[in-house]
Amino acid sequence: MGSLESAQAPLEASVSSSASAGPIAEPLSRHSVLVRVTHWVITLCFFALLVTGIEILISHPRFYWGETGTVITKPLFQLPIPSSRNIVKTGYGYVLPDQNGWSRALHFQAAWIAVLTGLLYAIYGFVTGHFRKNLLPSEGGLSWPVLSRAIAGHLRFARPSEAEAWSYNLVQRLTYLFVIFCLFPLIVWTGLAMSPAFTSAFPATVVLLGGRQSARTIHFFVSIALLLFVIVHFVMICRAGFINRTRAMITGRQRARREGL
């Protein structure tokens, strides 16, 4: 690594980052402090919400559409898993341990932290131009040839080019924008739409979704979408270089890659 030429660092990074003006092979700046801190806080919240969400889900693994639904109404679908409550007929001869109490408490606490952190990130993103500069497709960048090339690369699990270590490609940009501005608000909205006190003050939040049970069903599917995003995100990081990418998200710096590595 010591023989690395600074000229190998892409122009964009060396212009935007004062750190790159240092000696040869000095790690280069990639993510700002706020992006890194909010990234890891939300990561922790996501896993807390995922585990506790599954715990809450198994107490009634049936889904309905509309306002109401119980074990005596026909479900939209029922997950083929055992339940933690004996009122649900699952076909399994046993009932799972019931962990709803602490799961609910942790679910809502993690949700609060995720929402407040997400708000902080959103304000930062708009004020500093992070969304515009790093996530919005660049002018002329949003075209079918670019998009199809990026998708094809992803599908082949091709290793990203050096430039992609310093800036997001089109598929990444669109995916991050979709997660930040569609999935995240939708998971919060559908969650709030299940709160009897919140919907008493803001009934439109549940009526627009088609009812309380519809909100619960959408909440389930959005959480699946978020889980898929996290899995693909993780696979891509492994493919691109787990240590370098993770270091970039922890310390803010990453090393330019030597060709052929």
Partner 1 sequence: MTDISRRKLIFSGIGAAAGLSGLAVAVRLAEKYGLIPPDHGGIYGLGETITYASQRLLTRHSMAREFPRSWISNPPFSNELAPPPDAFKRLQEGNFVDWRLTVDGLVDRPSSFSLAQIKSYPSRTQITEVACEEGWSHIAEWIGTPLSHILDAVGTHPQARYVVYFSIEPDWWESIDMADAMHPQTFLTYGMNGSDLPVPNGGPLRLRVPRQLGYKSVKFITHLTVTDSMKKFGKGLGSASPEAGYAWYAGI
In the complex with partner 1, which residue's Cβ is closer, 175 or 213? 213
Q: What is the rounded CA–CA span in Å between residue 163 and residue 158?
A: 14
CA distances 57 to 48, 130, 223, Å, are 14, 36, 12
In the block, which residue shows the tokens 């009812």? 211
Site for partner 1 in 175-204 (CB under 8 A): 194-201, 203
Tokens of 133: 């500069």
Shortest reach from residue 134's CB to partner 1, in Å: 29
Count, residues in the chain:
261
Binder among 7, 21, 105, 243 for partner 1 (CB under 8 A): 105
Binder among 32, 39, 50, 108 for partner 1 (CB under 8 A): 108
Q: What is the rounded CA–CA span in Å between residue 245 and residue 221?
A: 29
Please give the backbone phi and psi of residue 128, each rounded to the nearest 5 degrees, phi first: -90, -10
Shortest reach from residue 81's CB to partner 1, in Å: 14
Shortest reach from residue 163's CB to partner 1, in Å: 37
Q: What is the rounded CA–CA span in Å between residue 189 and residue 22?
A: 46
Site for partner 1 in 75-104 (CB under 8 A): 85-87, 100-102, 104
Site size for partner 1, by CB under 8 A?
39
Could you list the residues that contact partner 1 (CB under 8 A)? 56-57, 59-60, 62, 67-73, 85-87, 100-102, 104-106, 108-112, 194-201, 203, 206, 212-213, 216
